[in-house]
Chain A
Amino acid sequence: MMGVEFVALSLTPILIGVCVAVACALPGNFLLLRRQALIGDAISHVVLPGIVVAFLLTGVVATGSMLLGAAGAAVLSVIAIDLIRRLGRIEAGAAMGVVFTAMFAGGVLLLERSDTSSVHLDVEHALFGNLESLIWLDARGWSSLLDPAALSGLPVELPRMAVALVVVTAFLWLFWRPLALSTFDEGFARGLGMPTGPLGLALVVVSAIAAVAAFDAVGSIIVIAMFICPPAAARMMTNRLGHQMVWSAAFAAFSAIIGYVLAGYGPIWIGASASVSAAGMIATVSGVILGVAAVAGPHRAKAS
């Protein structure tokens, strides 16, 4: 599988999968420690109506308008969550649960009522994405990686995800210190005069960028899994935040690679005829890693 066929059919989906997984897992560490892990879940659900509305307004599936629509939906949901939390006086988790299921359901209804048959936009796509179809038809083997003509035929999802990964990493690197401080002790951070509100919002926005960019390529299943599973597993491997980030990125990348290979070749190895969903398998692998870490991780016990 290391030849021409691999480069054309498997290399780009795997690279996209790795970019998605790492871009979601890195901010996931902070969301998890802030007890906001469900935000990743919420974002990946609420973007659906935004994307559908963007499509209905423009009539095309274009990255820019989809990102705008998704961003609009995300902002709307953040406001709605806050309103429900304040006016209804219920806890944030419940408010999120109400908003993101309602918005996702609204998105599904919109999708069914509108004519999207001509484009690749349906409920299944929203859940599982189409990672397997993001192949590189222009590739003629490894040498194509140096061939400008072939490179121009790369699926657009790859550079888009790469940019999202760079944005996420740059944000976390630049604001590492205030993020860590305000996540650990928000009161102290505010006492220093740190704008913890805008900082927390920026973290959510950056997570949303990763989620929205990933959504089209891989669907919401991977996004949800990658925001939570690799960081949670990483937490049980170390007692230092920096190390936890590295572990989570490693687990995420490992899940993407192994999950993709298992989905494509695993069923054939055991004698079945068809491959299974790569998105589903990648999420499953990340769940298995979490399970193993929960049983065998060196720092799994809560310190007494």
Chain B
Amino acid sequence: MNISLVTDRTASNESARMASPLAIRGMTVSYGQNPAVFSVDVTVRAGAMTAIVGPNGAGKSTLLKATLQVIKPLAGTVSVFGKPLAQMRDRIAYVPQRASVDWDFPTRVIDVVLMGMYRQLGLLGRVRRHHHEAAMASLTRVGMADFATRQIGQLSGGQQQRVFLARALAQEADIYVLDEPFAGVDAATEKAIIAVLKELRDAGRTVLAVHHDLVTVPEYFDDVVLLNTQVVAAGPVAEVFTDANLQATYGGRLTTARIDPESVAG
């Protein structure tokens, strides 16, 4: 495979990384014998929307989870605005895959959104009026205000995804990290979510999302990271999202319908 790996070891890239809202370096994750993510360097551009794209089993979700220390990487460092992740947790809002939780859990929509304010509320802080209003405002932004007191199990897939986004909005973070936000949602929800994400971007926030629909990448995103265990190419969509790079990422299998037996999500 003749692919050009993106390497940024020059001094100017070092300063870019320090300024980046999210810079990942040498990230390596392994489940058992084979690495799921190997030596990945990604420097996310501030105020841009970046997609992580790659075939099933390419390690997209794994990269996100390892970046946020949701799972433990074998190696790798993450800096947030030049500082270690641990000091900057409250600058990042994470939207996990919708399918990763049990939606039969006994809780209401508004309670899920209030979870986004955990860092403000602390262990025993009372939920006061302004917390509640902020949570309702987040729900309004995703068009779910009418569902605040519904049990979460009564929601459709698209509505569940919007609630997850509302919870992230309630965190009022600078960086939004989303894992497959458009997986299994209806067209109206997809439009609503992308509108909110673009609003965030236009307000100077940074968005990083695992994305599975190649068709919409140029329309939705500014930058793209092509991932297949390693980074195949990364940069602005106009430069990087080329046929040659995609063929390299998907190993020439892109045009054929394929069922990958190893494909676990992400």
Residues of A within 8 A of B (CB): 33, 174-175, 177-178, 180-181, 183-185, 187-188, 190-194, 235, 238-241, 243-244, 299, 302-304
Q: List 12 A-B contacts (CB under 8 A).
A: A174-B124, A177-B122, A185-B96, A187-B97, A188-B94, A188-B96, A191-B89, A193-B89, A194-B118, A238-B106, A302-B153, A304-B153
Q: Taking A184-B101, A185-B101, A188-B115 as contacts, is the C-beta distance between A303 and B107 under 8 angstroms? A: no
Is B123 an interface residue when CB atoms closer than 8 A count as contact?
yes
User: What CA separation (Å) do A241 and B69 show in the bound complex?
Assistant: 28
Q: Taking A188-B94, A190-B69 as contacts, is the C-beta distance between A302 and B104 under 8 angstroms? A: yes
Is B68 an interface residue when CB atoms closer than 8 A count as contact?
yes
CB neighbours (8 Å) of A181 from chain B are 115, 118
**DSSP class of B's interface residues: helix, strand, loop or mixed?**
mixed
Is B154 an interface residue when CB atoms closer than 8 A count as contact?
yes
Contact status B86-A193, CB under 8 Å: yes
In chain B, positions 81-125 with a C-beta closer than 8 Å to chain A are 86, 89, 92, 94, 96-97, 100-108, 111-112, 115, 118-119, 121-124
Q: Which 10 A-B pairs have the closest CB atoms?
A: A303-B153, A191-B94, A187-B96, A239-B151, A193-B89, A190-B70, A185-B101, A191-B68, A184-B105, A241-B106
Contact status B106-A239, CB under 8 Å: yes
User: What CA separation (Å) do A240 and B104 show in the bound complex?
Assistant: 11
CB neighbours (8 Å) of A235 from chain B are 106
User: What CA separation (Å) do A191 and B68 show in the bound complex?
Assistant: 6
CB neighbours (8 Å) of B111 from chain A are 240
CB neighbours (8 Å) of B121 from chain A are 177
Contact status B94-A303, CB under 8 Å: no
CB-CB nearest in chain A for B153: A303
CB-CB nearest in chain A for B151: A239
CB neighbours (8 Å) of A177 from chain B are 118, 121-124
CB neighbours (8 Å) of B115 from chain A are 181, 184-185, 188
Contact status B106-A192, CB under 8 Å: no
In chain B, positions 113-168 with a C-beta closer than 8 Å to chain A are 115, 118-119, 121-124, 151-154, 167
**Residue from A174, A190, A239 within 8 A of B68 (CB atoms):** A190
CB neighbours (8 Å) of B97 from chain A are 187
User: What CA separation (Å) do A180 and B106 show in the bound complex?
Assistant: 10
Residues of B within 8 A of A (CB): 65, 68-70, 86, 89, 92, 94, 96-97, 100-108, 111-112, 115, 118-119, 121-124, 151-154, 167, 177
Extra contacts, 6 of them, besides A33-B102, A303-B103 (Cβ < 8 A), are: A174-B123, A174-B124, A184-B107, A185-B101, A193-B89, A239-B107
CB neighbours (8 Å) of A174 from chain B are 123-124
CB-CB nearest in chain B for A245: B106
Contact status A241-B100, CB under 8 Å: no
CB-CB nearest in chain B for A184: B105
Q: Taking A178-B118, A187-B70, A188-B94 as contacts, is the C-beta distance between A239 and B100 under 8 angstroms? A: no
CB neighbours (8 Å) of B119 from chain A are 192
CB neighbours (8 Å) of B107 from chain A are 180, 184, 239-241
User: What CA separation (Å) do A106 and B111 show in the bound complex?
Assistant: 46
Number of contacts between A and B (CB, 8 Å)?
Answer: 82
> Which among B97, B101, B107, B154 has the greatest number of chain A C-beta atoms within 10 A?
B107
CB neighbours (8 Å) of A180 from chain B are 107
CB neighbours (8 Å) of B96 from chain A are 185, 187-188, 191
CB-CB nearest in chain B for A34: B102
Q: Taking A185-B115, A188-B96 as contacts, is the C-beta distance between A244 and B106 under 8 angstroms? A: yes
Contact status B154-A303, CB under 8 Å: yes
A182 CB to closest chain B CB, in angstroms?
10
CB neighbours (8 Å) of B69 from chain A are 190, 193
CB neighbours (8 Å) of B92 from chain A are 191
User: What CA separation (Å) do A187 and B69 show in the bound complex?
Assistant: 9
User: What CA separation (Å) do A175 and B124 show in the bound complex?
Assistant: 8
CB neighbours (8 Å) of B106 from chain A are 33, 235, 238-241, 243-244
**Residue from A184, A187, A243 within 8 A of B94 (CB atoms):** A187
CB neighbours (8 Å) of A241 from chain B are 105-107
CB-CB nearest in chain A for B105: A184
CB-CB nearest in chain B for A185: B101
User: What CA separation (Å) do A125 and B170 show in the bound complex?
Assistant: 53
CB neighbours (8 Å) of A191 from chain B are 68, 70, 89, 92, 94, 96, 177
Q: Taking A191-B68, A193-B89 as contacts, is the C-beta distance between A184 and B112 under 8 angstroms? A: yes
CB neighbours (8 Å) of B152 from chain A are 303
User: What CA separation (Å) do A235 and B96 show in the bound complex?
Assistant: 25
Contact status A187-B151, CB under 8 Å: no
A80 CB to closest chain B CB, in angstroms?
22
CB neighbours (8 Å) of A239 from chain B are 106-108, 151, 153
